[in-house]
Amino acid sequence: MKKLYFLVSLTLFLTSCNPKNNVKEITKTREPNSFAIVLHGGAGGIKKEYFTEQQQEAYKLKLEEALNAGYAVLEKGGISLDAVQAAINVMEDSPLFNAGKGAVYNSEGNQEMDAAIMDGKTLNAGAIAGVNHIKNPILAARIVMDSSSHVLLSGKGAEILAAKYGIEMVDSSYFFTEKRMNQLKELQGKEKIKLDHTAFLIKNELIDDHKFGTVGAVAIDKSGNIAAGTSTGGMTNKKYGRIGDVPIIGAGTYANNLTCGISATGTGEYFIRTVAAHEVSSLIKHKGFSPSEALHEVLFNQIGPLGGEGGMILLDKNGEVYWDFNSTGMFRGYKKSTGETTIEMFEKTE
């Protein structure tokens, strides 16, 4: 009997010491009719010294505008899908980000854009990949979700469906920005350098900008439903036809009311290989990880060792906001119905 009592006591002690079973984040509950939205504008070589004060202010104002657009939908009782879409639309219309208007060029000198959106209540999702003429790719992803029996459409097929449902189409000249063209030329110029060890180090030191700019948002509405969406131009100088993690449901975009909603940004190949967004959700659901632990595990113990870089934003079923990144910075912000608002761009310690 004493032996049995000892074993039970020991089990209870070890369980109480396990941080995954003793985290306040898991025990929080959502307040009735509360809502929130969190977004990102990309992660990568984002250091304060790279941006003038005017540029920092421009990014801050645009992130704030996007937050307010999504928040307004939620405040009026709108659904999380519409809030995510509204926030991403703002960033897609800005040349500051690598999505829509500011999409980067591929190796052929064209834009190929991807986007995805997912409903955490139904697990319904829609995504498009490799499109050239859709002004706001996130709207086309929503059409795929709502008006087709498919999840992912690419290229011409995606554009035909978008046009059929009245999504605005534009000439490729709409996406031209001098900044993005210069990035392509600079990167292609560096690729002509003989790849000895020194040149390789210089190359990787200076081209961080081709990795960031993807935009994404996650929202929870008054009914407690979560939605996540992401939109991107991919990577500068990517090979023709390359598709990243954004439109791969479970890699760069995922939402499930039972756990959380996630939008990712970074070197997409590594997020695909680790099925990053779904992996975070699974760690929370099946392993008892807190959102913070799950994000850290995937970014630093799974993606990082493979050579991947980036970040993720997360909004859990209780309306709590989390984010993490293994890059030098990530454009990010959130706004809650409590009035709490935050916009950050650089190191986590700011």
Question: Domains along the chain?
Answer: 44-344 (3.60.20.30)
Query: Which CA distances in Å does 258 have to 82, 127, 211, 283, 303?
Result: 20, 22, 31, 12, 24
Q: Looking at residue 22, what is its pLDDT?
A: 35
Q: Strand, coil or helix: what is 58? A: helix
Q: Looking at residue 16, what is its pLDDT?
A: 43
Closest CA to 130 of 106, 98, 150, 147: 106
Give the active site residue among 52, 214, 338, 349. 214
Q: Looking at residue 189, what is its pLDDT?
A: 62
Q: Looking at residue 172, what is its pLDDT?
A: 81
> Which residue ranges in the chain fall short of pLDDT 70?
1-27, 106-109, 176-212, 236-238, 349-350
Collect all residues with Cβ–Cβ distance below 8 Å to 122 and sequence separation of at least 6.
none
Q: Looking at residue 348, what is its pLDDT?
A: 74
Q: Strand order in 36-44's β-sheet?
A: 152-154, 125-131, 113-119, 226-232, 215-220, 36-44, 329-336, 341-344
Q: Looking at residue 12, what is its pLDDT?
A: 47
Q: Count CB neighbours of 155 within 10 A.
A: 14
Q: Looking at residue 349, what is its pLDDT?
A: 57
Q: Count CB neighbours of 33 within 10 A.
A: 11
Q: Looking at residue 19, what is its pLDDT?
A: 37
Query: Which residues belong to the annotated binding site for substrate?
Result: 242-245, 265-268
Look up the pTM and report it.
0.85
DSSP letter, residue 49? G
Closest CA to 144 of 121, 132, 167, 161: 161
The answer to whether residues 312 and 264 touch, using CB atoms and an 8 Å cutoff, is yes
Q: Is 27 assigned a catalytic role?
A: no
Query: Rounded CA gap, 294 and 60, in Å?
Result: 28
